[in-house]
Structure 1
Amino acid sequence: MIFVGIDIGSTASKVVVRGDVSSEFVMPTGWSSKETAKIIKDALLNDNIDVESNDVIVGATGYGRVAVDFADYVVTEITCHGLGGYEIAGKDCTIIDIGGQDTKIIKIENGIVTDFLMNDKCSAGTGKFVEIMANRLGVDINDLFNMAMTGQILPISSLCTVFAESEIINYIGEGRSRKDIAAGVVDSVAGKVAQLFGKFANSEYVILTGGLSSNKYFADSVSKKIRIPVNTSEYGRFAGALGAARNAEKKYNKERNGADS
C-alpha cells in the first residue's frame, strides 16, 4: 500500500508519500487550490503513483484541503500537524507551526493532541507577514533573515500586518538601515509567537514546523522570548503532509480491520 499526505497551505503545498515507496516534494499553491491539487495528482502519476488506484490512499489537510477531490480522507490541520510533529520529534512535544495565514501552538501528550491555540489571520506573527516585509525591503525571505542577524532591533508593535507595514514604511522614510528594520521584523514575529505560547510555558520539548522550521536564527529568537530551547528540523515544513499520510494510514487500517472482523 501507498499512503499520500497532501497539505495545501495558503502559500505552499507539501506532499509526502509513505508505504511501499517514500518521497516528498513542495510547490507554490498559486491562486487556485483546485488547480494545485490537479498538478499534484499529475506529478504523482509521473512518479507511477496513481491516486485512483485501490493501492493508493490519500489524506488531505491544510487551507485548501477541500479542493483535493480525490482524497480518501480530509482532516483538520491541527490533527495532521500534531501527528506529523510528533513523528518528527519522536516524543511528546509542543509544536510551533508558522503558517502562511496563521500560527499554531499544538501540545502533544501521550502521542495525541491535548491542547492548541491559533492566532488571528490578521496578526503580524505569520509567514505571510515575513514575506510581505521582505518584499517591502526589496529582498527575499532568506536575505531578510541574513540581514537581521547583524542588525539592531527596531520596535514594530502593531498586531495587524497592514499597520505593521506602515511602521516599516515610516522607518524606510526616516532612512533607517535595512538590517535594523529586518531585525525588527524578525523580533516582532518572534514576539507574537511568544505571546501566543504563554499558556504552554511549562513545555519540556518544543519543535518548530512550517516554512521557517529550519531557520535556526528565527528558532533562537523565539527561544529567547519563551525561555525554552526551540528545535529545528529540515523536515519540519512537511509536518502537516506527513500527518495527513499517517492519519490516512491509521483510518484505512482501522476500517480494513473492522471489515475483516
Structure 2
Amino acid sequence: MLMHEKFHLDRLYKLRKKCYNQDNSIRKEERVMTKVIRYTSDYLCMIADYGSPERHRHPTAHLVIADESTLRCTVGNAYFECEGIMIRSGAAHEIQSDGRMIVFLIADPSGITELMQERFLASSDHAVLPEDAISEVQKICRQYNGDMDIQILKKLDIYSEKRITADDRVLTAIAKIESSPSITPDMMEHLCRKTYLSQSRLSHLFKAETGNTLAGYLAFMKMRKAFEYAESGMNLTDAAMHAGFDSSSHLAATCKRMFGISLSAFLRSQKE
C-alpha cells in the first residue's frame, strides 16, 4: 500500500470513528430525559430516564418505581432486580433501567420519611415494594395527571404533610431554616443561638430525631430556595446568590450531585 493511500485510509477510519462516537453520544443524551412533576419542601418528584448513573448517595430518601422496565439495583453490597424500591437517605446506591422511572427524592425530616421507615424500611437501608402495590402505582403513572405524585404516596400509605418529631428544639431549627431567605455559612450559628445548643449537640439531636443529618437537610433546603428564586424570574446568578450559593456554577454542580439532573434540564422541565 502506498503511503498516501494509507494516510487517506487512516483519515477515513478516524472520521468514521468520530461520527460513530458522536452518534452514540447523541443517542445517550436523548435517553437522559427528566421532567419534574412537583418540588415541595418535603420532596422532589420527577419522571426520569437516567441511562446508567454511577454509584452515588443523597441526603434524601429515595422512592423509585419502574414505569417501563425492570430496575437493576445495587444498594450497599447487595444487587437485585425489582420494579419498585425505597432507599434510606445516605445509602450508597446505583439504579439502572432501560426505560422511564418515577423518582421521589424525599427530605428528612418529613412525615413521609417517618412513614417510610415505619411501614417499609424498619432498620434496613432499603425495601423492595410489594408487587400488588407496584401494580397499582404503575396504573397511576400511566394515567398521568397533575396530582400523580400525591396519589402515589397515598396509594403506598406514606402521604403526610406533618413532620413527626418530639423535640421542640428540632422544630425550632426547622422553622428557622424554612423562614430564612437564604442558607448562609453562618446559618448553623443562628440555629445554635435559637435552640441554645452547641453545634455538635444540635447536629446529634437532629440526626437522632429525624434520621438525617442537619447538613443534608440544609443542602436540600438551599436547593429548594434557589429553584424558587429562579422560578420567580431571577437570573441564575442572582437566584444562586440569594439562596446562599457562591455562584451559579456552584448551584449547578450541587444540583447535579444531589439530584442527578443538570440545572438547565431541571429549569427547562419546570417551564414545560
TM-score by structure 1 length? 0.27
Question: Which structure would you say has the larger Rg?
Answer: 2
TM-score by structure 2 length? 0.26
Higher helix fraction: Structure 1 or Structure 2? 2
